[in-house]
Chain A
Amino acid sequence: MRFNVALARPEVYLEPGFFHSTSDDIVISTLLGSCISVALFDPIIPAGGLNHFMLPFSRLPEKDALSDSAKYGVNAMELLINDMLKKGGKKARLRAKVFGGSTVIGLEREATFNVPKMNIDFIFDFLDRERIPVDAYSVGGTMARKIHFFPVNAKVLMRFSRGPATSLAHRESAYAHRLLEETHNNGKPILF
């Protein structure tokens, strides 16, 4: 864990596909393009967690929340929620803030539909279905977002990143392709 001098706290930086939750007074940060980050907070512990994920895009349009790609979103959310429960959180107390889903990379070239919109639709649909209230959000647009999340009080500092998004685009694109591979080769069921 590195130390963020400006924010005077240890900092955990999330690469695409990762999540972190804690009741420690640290800062969890990430840089988002078309991916989504959800900050979850349990005010009673208090503890918070952040993830950074996207739905794998298939070339087939998949509209509903039960599609194979939506299952990956559900899974990304469940991993974070379960991590919060292990820290003593209660699902019924969780509150959310949602970020990301901007159009910074040329994913349109690779899919027949709008990837950022699919990610945004998915997450609001999911949170609504799981009855997790959304306290704040900043989604869409064309600029990358830098997020700093303070897990002990749910505060988020967000700024738009105007810099060249080439390396971000590269990382998110690599992540999207990794996911696509995983959708074909995921876990083998075990029978005891």
Chain B
Amino acid sequence: MGASILIVDDSVSIRQSVRFILEQNGYTVFEAADGAEGLKRLGEQKVQLVITDVNMPNMDGLTMVKKIRETEGIKFVPILVLTTESQGAVVEEGKKAGATGWIVKPFNNEKLIETIKKVIP
């Protein structure tokens, strides 16, 4: 069985399209609709990678990244940010928060899978 990946995005459309591509490539996928739900899922389910959006209700993606980095047991999980945000300042904020990588939407399927394979070979 492939590695498990948690997708955190408030858009059903994005979750569906990312899930579709990941499952095609043999990954097991879990979903959460915002940062708070993402943290909760991580407490219940061991995953090898988190892919998260930035702008979400309840808890945004970068706040979730910071909280993951402070939480024993999950603090070392790689996190890819998948977002419409492309401005340098926001990307820098993501790096500071502890994200592993940054992908700007609309993403290219092959590049997404390539990047995932670099992070979790």
Contact = CB atoms under 8 A, between A and B. Distances in A.
Interface string A61-74: 00001101011101
Contacts of A91: 10, 57
Interface in A42-74: 65-66, 68, 70-72, 74
A164 interface: no
B69 interface: no
Interface of B: 10-14, 16-17, 20, 55, 57, 80, 84, 86, 91, 95, 99-109, 111-112, 114-115, 118-119
A23 B80 CA distance: 33
Given A90-B57, A126-B13, A187-B104, 20 more contacts: A65-B13, A66-B20, A70-B17, A71-B105, A71-B106, A74-B14, A74-B17, A74-B106, A78-B14, A78-B84, A91-B57, A129-B16, A130-B12, A186-B107, A187-B103, A188-B111, A189-B112, A189-B114, A190-B101, A192-B100
A72 B108 CA distance: 10
A66 B107 contact: no
Contacts of A183: 108
Contact of A65 (B10, B16, B106): B16
16 contacts: A65-B13, A65-B16, A65-B17, A74-B11, A74-B14, A77-B13, A78-B84, A82-B55, A85-B57, A129-B13, A129-B16, A130-B11, A130-B12, A189-B107, A190-B103, A191-B100
A79 interface: yes
Contact of A191 (B20, B101, B105, B107): B101
B81 to A, nearest CB: 9
A187 B107 contact: yes
Contacts, number: 81
Nearest to A80: B84
Q: Is the interface of A mostly helix, strand, loop or mixed?
A: helix
A192 B99 contact: yes
Contacts of B101: 189-192
A161 interface: no
A78 B86 contact: no
A126 B13 CA distance: 7
Nearest to A192: B95
Given A82-B84, A129-B13, A190 B111 contact: no
Contacts of A86: 55
